[in-house]
Structure 1
Amino acid sequence: MPWTALIICSHLTLLTVILETGQAAAENDTRVPAATAPGDVIIGGMFSIHEDVEKRKKGSFEPQIQPCVRFKNRGLVHTLAMINAIEVMNKQPQLRAVNITLGYRITDSCSDVSTALRATTDFLKQGQCHAGSSNCGQPIMAIIGAALSETSIAIARQLTLQMVPQISCTSTAVSLSDKSRFPAFMRTIPNDLHQTAAMAHLLECNNWTWVGIIITDGSYGRSALESFTSSASNKSICVAFKWILPVFVTSEGVSYAIKQTATEILQNPKVNKALSKQEFELQGKIYMFDSNGDINQGYEVVMWQSNGREVDVHNFVAEYDLNTNSFHYTNRSTIQKFINLKNIFSKCSNSCKPGQSKKTAEGQHTCCYECINCAKNYYSNGIDMDQCLTCDEGKEWSDEGSSNCTPKAQIYFSWHDGFAVVLLTFAAMGIVLVFMVSALFFHKRATPVVKAAGGPLSQVILFSLVISYVSAVLFVGRPNGIQCKAQQMMFGISFTLCISCILVKSLRILMAFQLNPAVQVVLRQVHKPYVTVGIVVGLQVVICICWLALRSPSKEILNLPKTLLERCNKGSYVAFGVMLGYIAILAFVCFICAFKGRKLPQHYNEAKFITFSTLLFLISWLLFIPIYVTTPGRYISAVEMTVILISNYSILSCHFFPKCFTMLFKKEKNTESAFRKNLYEYSNKSVDSVSWSSWSESQSSSQHVIISTLSPVVPPAKSAVVTDCKDTTTFKGLYRGQHSWHCHSRRSSI
């Protein structure tokens, strides 16, 4: 405590000496006295340490510093508080760590705008060094002050030129909150809007509705007057009088102004006068003054009538009542005369009808206008409306010239739509056909046709087609979030399962009829059907999970001009493209493999059907992209649903219907002997390799040509009978030789 008191006393003594020295300066010296301390960053301070300045000498026009008068304790306290705050901050480890100290330059505004402006000019000159100048110093980074709003407004305009921050703790004028005028000003006290609002609220709580206002002249007082008047008016508080006092107590006439104000207060205690409450009667009618001092006397309506020679100006037809703002008839005989007035047309332009608005030409009288139709999504529901009203475009619409707004209809691919009924019929029929085919294949599971079609893999394909058909059904009806996600995920995963099984079948056929024994052995070692299906489908599952995690499909409402379209948003079209692209790649691989095996025996030749079905799938989805982009409205879902049904039916028709036809109507071909015969015929027609050995014309030697054909049977089965037939022909010359066949049967597992 002793050290604190000693420090404060030393600062007080130093500051007093500096300020007194500044007052003793020569009159022609325009430099501003200040208390300063060095530092890496200089902060300016402007406080009202004195209450006023001495008046300028008459007849003197030279710039001079006017001496400050009447010491002000509060201003000195603010100054010492700033000095103490800077010293405390200099002791903080954050500033010491970066080796930065804060300095200050504090001046006395003397509660005078001119003195404050001179000090502000001195602040701004500190960083401007010129040769021979004695005002060179570190620039002021920010200024604390001033106290009065009048002073803060003046110096804020000057500081804005160089955007030097200004912070005040006592200036409360509302105008200082206008950042377009004072962008560098800040304060640590609420503005007068809150102060005057609080004052008005206090009056309202005490039911004080008749008050007087006394303000000081200047920006602060007039701003407070405007703000308080607005708040009081909103709360039905009446202002009895307004009185403006000079801002400084040393101003001329301040004593007289205070005396007059006091007198005014005393005299106005209240695949209202007594007269304001007085009522009096005249000719049977009661008259009184309202709160504005106006009499409740109305007006009489006089109709002038002419008989050709003279005009009657005493024909009273009605009376206008101020209280009810309506007309009253004086007697029944005048009612018809008053009604006839409505038949008289006295307008510059005809009335605008509902759906129109008035348009007045520039420079034309407002009573003369033309009627124009309201634009789209605008309406007018009255006569002679100045402007059309806008519809809520998120929910309503209107045509040009409308008198009201029409609610937007919510549309989606409905169950009652004719196109939807057709597609749903095909989807239901497809599900029924799949179950029928599945039952037939299960019943004939031991026959060669079912084994050649893949055996258990056929049931997996049929199961995937059922799921795919169900996913197509989800495209119909009002969409929701779960439905939007399910329709895409179910199709993507189920059709990938279908294509992966077809891929395994294609690879199995190629492997079974691979004529190179070495390659066939390698293919059999790496060929794992169910592992392959699991890996292929697993990759699609990963794609779908990433799609759901990042930007999953969701319901969206598309705001169209006249309707609200409810549909499923794909979320991420990149993920949607990756999912379809993955299926397309698998289908393309199936197409290549099947195309290579298109010349296999008839009973094994699923390659033709695989080629056709995958080609149809690829073409349909390629056509889907431009059709999907150009299809408007609710039928976007129908397009994708159609392509899914085409893909499913292509798989069902090409892979299963021919097998069903054979099992039902050509049973004689569904035997092992028929299959072996077909293989034998195919073996006689195919030649795998021909080896020729050259010979010399001068040397007679034997030339051997060996032609070998290897053909397996029933490749899709786990074990099948394979017949190896070798046609060995030995030629003694080019035109003669011996021909022989060597065949044997063996059991082979594929």
Structure 2
Amino acid sequence: MIYTIREINKRTPRVLPDFTLGYDIYDTCGDVNFAIRATLQLLKNQSDPQRCLIPASFQSALPEPQTKAVIGERYSEVSIAIARVIALSSVTQISYASTSEHLSRKWKFPTFLRTISSDEHQTRAIAELVCKFNWKSVAIVASDDEYGKYGSDNLVYIFREKKNICIEFIDILPGNFYEDLTKVNELVSKINRSSAEAIIMFTKDTNVRPIMQEAINQTFNRTWIASDSWSTSTKVSQLEGIEKAGEVFGFISKMNEVPSFKDYVMSTFNGTTNAILEHYLTHYPLCSNRPDENISACFTTNSQPGSGQCQDIRCVADNIDQDELYNVYLAVQVIVEGLRHLLKCDNQQCKHSGKFTALEVTVYNCSKTCAPGQELKMQSKKCCKDCVPCADGEFSAGNGEECQRCSQAEFSSPQRDKCLNKTVEFLQWEDPFVIILSCLGVFGIIATFVFAILFTMYHSTPIVKAVGGYLCFLELFSLLACFCVIFTFTGKPTRVTCMLGLPVFGLGQSLCMACILANLFQILVGFNFDPKIGSWMKKLNRPVAVVTIVFGVQLAICVSWLHFNPPFPDNETLNKAIMLQCDKGNDKFFIAMLGYNGFLAVSCLLFAFKGNKLPDLYKNARLITTSMMLFLIIWILLIPIYISLIGKYKRGIEGAAILISSYSILCCHLAPKCYIMVFKKEINNQNAITENIRKHYEQKNMAVIKS
């Protein structure tokens, strides 16, 4: 300021002819009370607020000039106190550093001006910085003064306006909270616990220093945003180990160099007449005046007066507070321009702007980019979203994008980063399990034809009559249908194969067991000697009628099933495959069909158990009991297996159950008869049967009449 005033006064031609600029300097110590006292001292002879101009011909007898302007203060809190006082005398105040938006209210502070941007520009610049780095969560620390309070309020308003920035916490602390270590420690603990990505501190450097010191001690490595009041403060920047606190992004007004000021500083120390500099040099002497001093580093302002340290003159000019330097220079120039206008001097235009330079930085805490297969989702934290893995069947390409569902024909990859096409599965003919089933089915068909030939060759023998005579051919035909139907369970399901599968099996098994039931009924009637019971049983002994009625019930069930809601081709969507299968259409018809066959099996079992007490050369009743027991066990075991089984082998299990139940009848009921026909011909005659009956009743002490 002194340099600028001197330059204006000695400039030729004179900027203000016949006028000389002077100055008084008051040290407010950054305190409101000292500032008001100094202001009152400044204005003590300002008797007439309306007399602002001094004519060129006027010779004042007053010790002070009537026209006054105030440059300062630095802190907004102090500037507001000064502005309220000097506004009463209409004295102009120009601040070079006070940025509080509150000072922009002209109806409150009509004479206040400044050469620095207000906090409105600074806070919007801070918000732009936060948005540029895609930070979603911030914390705000401010002092309870005009600077911190209005700055933080403006930040809150802007962040809420943007809607996508979350404020984790706001701490408004006393104006000089650095004096209260308890509050400082509480604040540091809160910052350490928070997940805020950036800590914005809107307060002066004296308050910031202890916070950053603790951040260094605890190696916070956080991201800090400095307001202009401490962004270039040496009190903070020269802390030992400051890099441990993390990255600091500060805001200052665009700086310009004051013309020839550095040369002035260098020359002023050689025979200065500046009282302030003279006072300064008494505490911090130049090393050039002490030739024995070894100058290894620049003097720092952390040194205490009288410490005995000296300073290199080359470092003095470089360490002047450059961010405020040009603003002070502008403040003097504004006063001069104002005077020139009032005194009708030539006008000059001055243009200036609050410009901010964008920076590059990496995010600190909140994750904005997740790995592929993860989405950003709000979990336990108040502001920050976490990377959460996508669920099964969902995918996310990356960058925290929301998880999307894969289509029914797709499944998510193991990394959940994309969808893969599901494979279409069904029982293939080349499957080993299918090959085994097919071989067993073919063997069953061949065996059925062989048995049919043998039964045809020996149709008039007693053993054929013992298994029902012509009914055995119906039984063989039904078994042939069951063996053939297993081939419908292999390959891609079609409407025809689905409709043939289970209904044909149900009909075949019912016809087979109807023939067995009629045969057992014949045996019971033949050996029943009770005249009362025997008469009505003989009336019911109509094999064709029995087979027709028993089979007719199942035929009605299956025809209704196929008519109203038949099985149809369908697919079951699994995690990684689409399973082609047959839907049963209506489960009630399937349960009715299977339940009726179970009822017939139990009936045959009861009749066979009853027939165990009768003479039986060919062990017919015992073998039927075994085959029916196998049938019931197989289908009872199938139910839980079928319900729990998932996959293409579900249909194969159905085919296997049909094969086993068909083989149980073929092997236990019919195969022993064929063995007798071929290898035991001696018992396949009437005499052997008669002898067997005689021995049976003789053992029970019953007389047998031979006819």
> Structure 1-normalised TM-score?
0.44
Per residue, is there more helix in 1 or in 2? 2
TM-score by length of 2: 0.46
Q: Which has the higher contact order (CA 8 A, sep 6+)?
A: 2
**Structure (1/2) with the larger strand percentage:** 1
